[in-house]
Amino acid sequence: MATQYQNLSEYDSSTVPNATEMRFGIVVSEWNQPITSALLQGAYATLVAHGAKEEHIFVHYVPGAFELTFGAKLLAEKLRVDAVIGLGCIIRGETPHFDFISQGVTQGFVDLNMQYQLPFVFGVLTNDTMQQSFDRAGGKHGNKGDEAAVTAIKMVAFAKKLA
């Protein structure tokens, strides 16, 4: 959804299930750390606000956005979690590197969602400028971390409902 039409942090909290019994893995890219730290803050606070216990939120870091996929896979395999959230920030530069990394990480999360019986939530910003990223990491367009956390909670509840 285009953030010019919807603030990433605005949602109807009454539609978000209680996360008290849910366990979450969060894998965070160290690249563009000022942005990814803000995304993590938003995701973590949103999970806790909806009942997730802090001891059931497992945060781990990887060097860059490309490594998010492997990090997410390891969290799913090594920890007992109900969902994995990947948080990163890829900013367009002067070379096609942006396109390769963005496509690779996106496809990686698609593949993980198809391979495992738990949701992998894509909380990766892919923007043209650093300012656009700040605007979506707690700035004027809200926080993609909030959105990713709400998505994770809703998808865990959805999967449990159908189990």
159 CB-contact burial (10 Å; exposed 0-12 / middle 13-18 / buried 19+): middle
Which CA distances in Å does 106 have to 12, 87, 101, 125?
A: 27, 12, 8, 11
50 in catalytic set: no
CA distances from 125 to 35, 66, 70, 94, 163 (A): 9, 13, 18, 18, 31
Whose tokens are 């000022």? That residue is 34
* Options 50, 56, 60, 97, the catalytic residue: 97
How far lies 5's CA from each of 16, 57, 92, 105, in Å? 21, 30, 22, 25
Encoded tokens for 68: 């998010």
Under 8 Å between Cβ of 86 and 63: no
Catalytically active residues are: 97
